[in-house]
C-alpha cells in the first residue's frame, strides 16, 4: 500500500504542475527501456552479488516535470539471491528548468523501495537532489543528494561529472559514442553510503547508441568504478559493469 500511496502522491504533484501552465497545450513525451546488466552497481556498491540483473523503467515528461519509475530484478540464484526477485523499485519526480542560458537545473526526489537484505539494505528511504549543468563543452554537472529519510547524520552525497557524445554517422550510420567521467564525495550519508566524510569513488563510462529506428535504440554500456579514500576502500571494491540496453522513445 505504501508504494501505491507514494505513486499516487507523485502523480498528483505532476498533475498539479501541468495545471499551473495556464491553458498551455500539454504534450507528454517519454521513453521506456530495459537492459541486461552483468551486476547491479550503484555508487560503487555491488548490490547483486556479481550476478546478472534485469533493469528497466519508464519516464513521462511534460512541461518540465518528469515522473519516472525504475526496477531491478535478479536473473540468477545464489549467494542469498533468488532468480526473478524484484529487490528494488524507485519512483522519481523531477522538475527541470533553465536558470540562465548557461546553466540548466533539475530538482527532484527519489523514493527507494528496497528489499535487499543480503546486503543489509531493506529499509525504504527518500532522497532529495538538485543538479546544475553548465551548457558548455563536456556539460560539467554538479549533483547534490540529501537522504532526508533514513540517514541519522548529514545524509549528503555529492557527484561531479563530465560527458561528451561523438556522432559516428560518417563512419557508421545512426551511431553515437558517449564518454563520461564522474567523481563523488560522501558527507555522512549513513543511510545509503556510509558514516564517513571523504572522497567516495570515481567512474569512467562509455556507451554506443545505435539507432535501429527513429524510436528504438540499442546501447552497449561499460562502466569502471573504483574507491578513492581509505574509508571508501573499506566499503567498496574496484568494479566493472557491462550492459546491453534497449530504449523506446515516444
Beta-carbon contacts of residue 156 (< 8 Å; ≥ 6 apart) = 144, 145, 146, 147, 186, 187, 188, 189
CA neighbours within 13 Å on the CB side: how many for 180?
Answer: 21
The neighbouring-strand residues paired with 186 are 157, 198
Distance CA 203, CA 218 (A): 22
> Is residue 90 a contact partner of residue 55, using CB atoms and an 8 Å limit?
no
The H helix count followed by the E strand count for the chain is 2, 14
Cβ-proximal residues to 231 (8 Å cutoff; 6+ apart), any chain? 186, 194, 196, 198
pLDDT of amino acid 23: 47
Q: For residue 246, what is its C-alpha cell?
A: 534497449
Angstrom distance (rounded) from CA 163 to CA 134: 11
Calculated CA dihedral for residues 73, 78, 81, 86, nearest 10 degrees: 20
> What phi-psi label fits residue 198: left (phi over 0), alpha (psi between -120 and 50 degrees) or beta?
left
> What pLDDT score was predicted for residue 2?
47
How far is the C-alpha of 96 from the C-alpha of 63, rounded, in Å? Answer: 9
User: Nearest Cα to 7, choosing from 64, 61, 74, 67?
Assistant: 67
Superfamily of domain 2-249: monomeric porin ompg (2.40.160.40)
**So what's the pLDDT on residue 22?**
44
C-beta of residue 126 within 8 angstroms of C-beta of residue 148: yes
Residue 71 C-alpha cell reads as 526496477
Q: Is residue 134 within 8 Å of residue 155, measured between CB atoms? A: no
* pLDDT at residue 24, rounded to an integer: 56
Residue by residue, pLDDT tens for the chain (250 residues) are: 444 455 555 555 555 555 555 445 678 999 999 999 999 999 999 999 999 999 999 999 999 999 999 999 999 988 788 899 999 999 999 999 999 999 999 999 999 998 866 555 557 999 999 999 999 999 999 999 999 999 999 999 999 999 999 999 888 889 999 999 999 999 999 999 999 999 999 999 999 999 999 999 999 999 999 999 999 999 999 999 999 999 999 9
> Which of 122, 126, 115, 123 lies closest to 149 in space, CA to CA?
126
Please tell me the distance from the alpha carbon of residue 175 to that of residue 217, in angstroms, as a whole number.
9
pLDDT tens digits, one per residue of 69-100:
999 999 998 878 889 999 999 999 999 999 99
| 133 neighbors 144 (Cβ within 8 angstroms) | no
- Any idea where the domains of the chain sit in the sequence? 2-249
Separation of alpha carbons 24 and 119, rounded Å: 47
Q: For residue 66, which of 125, 106, 98 has the smallest C-alpha distance?
A: 106
Amino acid at each position: 500500500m505504501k508504494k501505491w500511496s507514494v505513486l499516487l502522491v507523485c502523480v498528483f504533484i505532476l498533475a498539479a504542475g501541468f495545471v499551473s501552465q495556464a491553458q498551455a497545450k500539454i504534450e507528454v513525451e517519454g521513453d521506456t527501456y530495459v537492459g541486461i546488466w552483468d551486476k547491479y552497481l550503484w555508487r560503487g556498491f555491488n548490490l547483486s552479488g556479481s550476478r546478472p540483473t534485469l533493469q528497466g523503467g519508464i519516464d513521462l515528461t511534460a512541461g518540465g516535470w518528469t515522473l519516472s519509475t525504475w526496477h531491478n530484478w535478479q536473473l540468477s540464484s545464489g549467494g542469498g539471491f533468488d532468480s526473478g526477485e524484484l529487490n528494488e523499485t524507485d519512483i522519481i519526480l523531477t522538475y527541470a528548468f533553465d536558470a540562465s542560458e548557461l546553466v540548466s537545473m533539475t530538482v527532484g526526489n527519489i523514493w527507494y523501495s528496497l528489499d535487499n537484505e543480503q546486503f543489509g539494505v531493506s529499509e525504504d528511504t527518500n532522497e532529495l537532489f538538485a543538479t546544475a549543468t553548465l551548457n558548455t563543452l563536456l556539460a560539467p554537472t554538479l549533483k547534490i543528494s540529501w537522504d532526508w529519510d533514513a540517514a541519522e547524520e548529514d545524509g549528503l552525497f555529492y557527484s561531479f561529472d563530465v560527458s561528451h557524445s561523438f556522432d559516428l554517422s560518417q563512419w557508421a550510420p545512426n551511431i553515437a559514442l558517449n564518454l563520461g567521467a564522474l567523481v563523488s564525495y560522501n558527507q555522512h550519508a549513513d543511510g545509503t553510503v556510509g558514516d564517513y566524510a571523504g572522497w567516495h569513488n570515481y567512474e569512467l563510462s562509455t556507451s554506443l547508441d545505435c539507432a535501429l529506428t527513429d524510436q528504438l535504440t540499442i546501447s552497449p554500456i561499460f562502466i569502471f568504478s573504483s574507491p578513492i579514500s581509505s574509508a571508501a576502500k573499506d566499503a567498496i571494491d574496484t568494479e566493472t559493469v557491462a550492459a546491453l540496453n534497449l530504449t523506446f522513445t515516444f
